A and B are shown apart, each in its own frame.
Chain A
Amino acid sequence: DQQVKQNSPSLSVQEGRISILNCDYTNSMFDYFLWYKKYPAEGPTFLISISSIKDKNEDGRFTVFLNKSAKHLSLHIVPSQPGDSAVYFCAVGGMDTGRRALTFGSGTRLQVQP
């Protein structure tokens, strides 16, 4: 039973345009939301996060939006660069669950075309 869903397995955008990656979750106990980036043959790398008390967090070209009522999370990359081509995983955590582990989505492969 998937608690975190990334419904788009892949996304292709042109360099300089905006990339929007989406994620849906089912459990309202989650209160911390993260995006990880993964290159082939490497481990996931933390990219950006947001807590449930916020609806937006920005870090350079990367912005994460959280819509708690819709249980929806998105990552915007502007402008997209070829080096952003990777698999992006949405991950969630919840202190109230008593667990320190992350629950991951299945990932979206982003390809940025030069």
Chain B
Amino acid sequence: DTAVSQTPKYLVTQMGNDKSIKCEQNLGHDTMYWYKQDSKKFLKIMFSYNNKELIINETVPNRFSPKSPDKAHLNLHINSLELGDSAVYFCASSQDSGLATYEQYFGPGTRLTVT
């Protein structure tokens, strides 16, 4: 039983296209995140949602828009894809309860390649 799942695992697309990555967690957590792992291997926070409300929106282009239809899902939609968007995107979740917030569970990642 996968705790945090992402689809698709691999995504190859052309510049200018619009794509979505889906994330679901079955842990009953109330906070979900999107992280981006760039070419230098740093994992950087993009967005954080708590109970379907946006609580973190780092300096991410407006082309990226998270959507949380319910507590268990946080999807990432990307418009007008650019070459620099190529990266691995990780979804994560945690329980919003003091320090347990930081013990985050990650999905397997989605490798996005923009050509």
Partners in one complex: yes
Chain A residues within CB distance 8 Å of chain B? 32, 34, 36, 41-46, 49, 51, 87, 89, 91, 93, 95, 99-107
In the bound complex, what is the Cα–Cα distance between A51 and B100 (angstroms)? Answer: 11
In the bound complex, what is the Cα–Cα distance between A91 and B56 (angstroms)? Answer: 17
Can you name the residue of chain B whose Cβ is closest to the Cβ of A99?
B56
Which residues 18-44 of B have a CB within 8 angstroms of A? 31, 33, 40-44
Can you name the residue of chain A whose Cβ is closest to the Cβ of B55?
A100
A100-B50, A100-B55 given. 7 additional CB < 8 A pairs? A43-B92, A45-B106, A93-B101, A100-B56, A100-B96, A101-B48, A104-B42
Whether A49 lies near B102 (C-beta < 8 A) is yes
In the bound complex, what is the Cα–Cα distance between A19 and B94 (angstroms)? Answer: 29
The reply on B45 being an interface residue by CB < 8 A is: yes
Minimum distance in angstroms from B91 CB to a CB of chain A: 8
Which residues 38-94 of B have a CB within 8 angstroms of A? 40-45, 48, 50, 55-56, 58, 90, 92, 94
Minimum distance in angstroms from B72 CB to a CB of chain A: 17
Whether A32 lies near B92 (C-beta < 8 A) is no
Contacting B43 at CB < 8 Å: which of A34, A42, A89, A93? A89
In the bound complex, what is the Cα–Cα distance between A33 and B105 (angstroms)? Answer: 15
Can you name the residue of chain A whose Cβ is closest to the Cβ of B47?
A101
Whether A43 lies near B108 (C-beta < 8 A) is yes
Question: Which residues of B lie under 8 Å from residue A45 when comparing CB positions?
Answer: 106
In the bound complex, what is the Cα–Cα distance between A49 and B50 (angstroms)? Answer: 22
Can you name the residue of chain B whose Cβ is closest to the Cβ of A94?
B102
Question: Which residues of A lie under 8 Å from residue B31 when comparing CB positions?
Answer: 100
Question: Which residues of B lie under 8 Å from residue A87 when comparing CB positions?
Answer: 41
Minimum distance in angstroms from B115 CB to a CB of chain A: 21
